[in-house]
Amino acid sequence: MSELAYLPATEALARFAARELSPVELLDAVVARAEQAEPHVNAFAERWFERAMEQARQAEDRYLRGTARPLEGLPVALKEEQPIAGHPLRDGSLLLRDNVADVTHPVVDRVVAAGGIVHARTTTPEFCAAGFTHSDLWGVTRNPWSLGHSSGGSSGGSGAALAAGTAVLATGSDIGGSIRIPASFNGVVGYKPPYGRVPALPPYNLDHYCHDGPMARTVADCALLQNVIAGQDPRDHVSLPAPPPIPPYSGSLAGRRVAVCVRLGDYAVEPEVVAATWDAARALTEAGAAVEEVELTWTRAEIMRAAWAHYGAIFGPIVAEEVAAHGDGLTRYARDFMERSLKAAAETGFYGALKIEARVHEDLAALFLRFDALLCPASGTPALLAGEDYLDTPLVVDGVVLDHNLEAPLTVPFNLASRCPVLSVPSGRSPLGVPTGVQVVGRPYDDATVFEVGAAVTAALPWYADAAWRPQP
C-alpha cells in the first residue's frame, strides 16, 4: 500500500507548503487505498472521489498562490449523520432512504471553509443507536484490523476509514461513546469535546449528552481538526466561544497529576485491556507525571439507568416519530433501543436521571481537586463481533454477562458528565489482533490538558508512524 495514505495530516500540510507534495498526489493515494480496502471494510456511505479530485487541483493552486487555509487539501470523511443541504440524510435507516437534508451542519461548513476536501461520508448504525456499525441500509462495517470484528459505533465508518488509510481526518458524534468506542476498536484518536464547545443544530444541540467532534490517527491531527470546528455559531445558541488553539505537545508532563481508575466502579474489563491501560499509565510516568490509582464507587447499572432514561426522553421519541411517519421496518437493535429507552424514561424519569448525573459530577469534582486528568479504558472488551447485535446471544466481558452492548465501553459516564472533555487514544494491541484504547478525561472545559496527556501516551508508542502498526486488508 502507498505510504502516503497514512501520512499524518500535520505532515501533509507541511509538505504541501514546502511544495514537496501535492494535494492531488495525496488524494490519489487515499482513493487508491479506498479502492483496495472498501470492498472488505465498507466504511463509506457515499463516495465523492471525482468532485474531490477537482477540489484537490484547486487546493494545489491555492498553495502556489499562497492562499492556503488550515485544512487545505486534506481528504476528510464526514459522518453521514451530520447533514449537508441537498444531499441524503439517512442515518443508516431504510425508513429514511429517500430523506434529503435541507440544512448543513456547522461542522461540515467549517471543514469545507478551512479547505478540507470531503471525499466520502461514513456509515453509522441505524439512528446511531449502537456501539457497533451495521444496518439494513448499508450492511456491515468491519474492523480493518480483523474483518470478523466490528469497527464500533456509532461513528464506526469514520474510525474504520482512518484505520484503513481511506481518510486523513474524519468527523464523529457521541451520545454514549460513539466517537471513543470506534477510536478504541480501530486504534485511532477520537475526541468528545465538552458540551457546547463544537456547535450543532437544533434540537440536538440542546441535549447535553450530544457532542460532535474530530477523529484522526494522531493526537496532533485530532487537535488540528478540533481547532477548526470549535467555537460559537449563530445557529447554535448554546455554543461557546472558541478557546485558545490546542497547542503542540511539549514533550513533558512534569508537574501533572493523573489518576488511574481501571474499572470506574464495577465495569467489566478484560485482562488484556487492564494490562494495556497500565502500559499507558507507565508512559505518563515516564513523561514526568505523578500517577496514582484511585477507585470510584459508581455502578454500571446506575450509570445505565440514568442513560436509558435520558435516551428515552430524547432519542426514543425521535425513533418512534420516524416509525409513525414512515412505518415499521427498524433493525432489531434500533427497535430494542427505542423500547428500552422509552420504558426507562417512564420508570426513572428525567429527575431521577439527573440525581444520578449529579453524583457522577460530584465524584469527578472531588477527584479533580487532586488530579489534572483521569485515565481509564475506553472499552472493557477490545472489540465486538461484526454483524452481531447481541440480542439473542448476550455479550460477555471478563466473565460478566452484560444486559446491552453499551455496557461494554466505559464511555457513558462521561456523557453524563458532559462538560468534561475526553480524548480516546490507542493503548496497545490485544491477542485478537485489534487495538485497545484508553480515555483521558479532563476537568470541565480543560481541552488542552487531555490533549497533552493523550499525546504523552502516544509518544511512547509507534502507532501509525510505523508500518507495522497498520491493518492489511
The pLDDT of residue 473 = 64
Residue 101 to residue 231: CA distance in whole angstroms: 23
The pLDDT of residue 131 = 98
CA distances from 218 to 50, 222, 237, 454 (A): 27, 6, 31, 10
Catalytic residue selected from 79, 146, 150, 341: 79
- Assess whether 178 carries a catalytic annotation: yes
- Assess whether 154 carries a catalytic annotation: yes
234 closest CA partner among 212, 202, 204: 202
The pLDDT of residue 469 = 79
What φ, ψ does residue 343 adopt, rounded to 5°? -65, -45
Catalytic residue selected from 93, 146, 151, 154: 154
Q: What is the mean predicted confidence (pLDDT) over 74-84?
A: 98
Q: Edge-to-edge strand order for the sheet containing 189-192?
A: 44-47, 117-122, 75-79, 169-174, 211-216, 189-192, 422-429, 435-442, 373-377, 257-260, 290-293
CA distances from 269 to 198, 275, 299, 367 (A): 31, 10, 14, 22
The pLDDT of residue 176 = 98
Q: What are the tens digits of pLDDT across the range 92-108?
A: 999 999 999 999 999 99
- Assess whether 150 carries a catalytic annotation: no
* pLDDT bracket for residue 470 (50, 70, 90): confident
Q: Which three cell numbers stand for residue 157?
A: 465508518
Q: What are the tens digits of pLDDT across the range 104-123?
A: 999 999 999 999 999 999 99
Q: What is the mean predicted confidence (pLDDT) over 258-262?
A: 99
pTM for this model (two decimals): 0.98
Given a cut of 80, whether residue 203 has pLDDT beyond it is yes
Q: What is the CATH number of domain 3-299+355-465?
A: 3.90.1300.10
- More confident position, 344 or 462: 344
Q: What are the tens digits of pLDDT across the range 354-394?
A: 999 999 999 999 999 999 999 999 999 999 999 999 999 99
What φ, ψ does residue 100 adopt, rounded to 5°? -125, 135
Residues 6+ apart with CB under 8 A from 21: 4, 7, 12, 15
The pLDDT of residue 1 = 54
Given a cut of 60, whether residue 298 has pLDDT beyond it is yes
Question: Is-contact 139 106, C-beta < 8 A?
Answer: no
CA distances from 447 to 197, 334, 360, 453 (A): 9, 33, 19, 11
Q: What are the tens digits of pLDDT across the range 123-153?
A: 999 999 999 999 999 999 999 999 999 999 9
Domain with CATH 3.90.1300.10 in the chain: 3-299+355-465
Place of cell 439517512: 90
Residue 212 to residue 82: CA distance in whole angstroms: 9
Burial of 39 (0-12, 13-18, 19+ CB in 10 A): exposed
The pLDDT of residue 461 = 78
Catalytic residue selected from 178, 239, 424, 430: 178
The pLDDT of residue 465 = 67
Given a cut of 90, whether residue 467 has pLDDT beyond it is no
Residues 6+ apart with CB under 8 A from 438: 184, 276, 277, 280, 375, 376, 377, 378, 424, 425, 427, 457
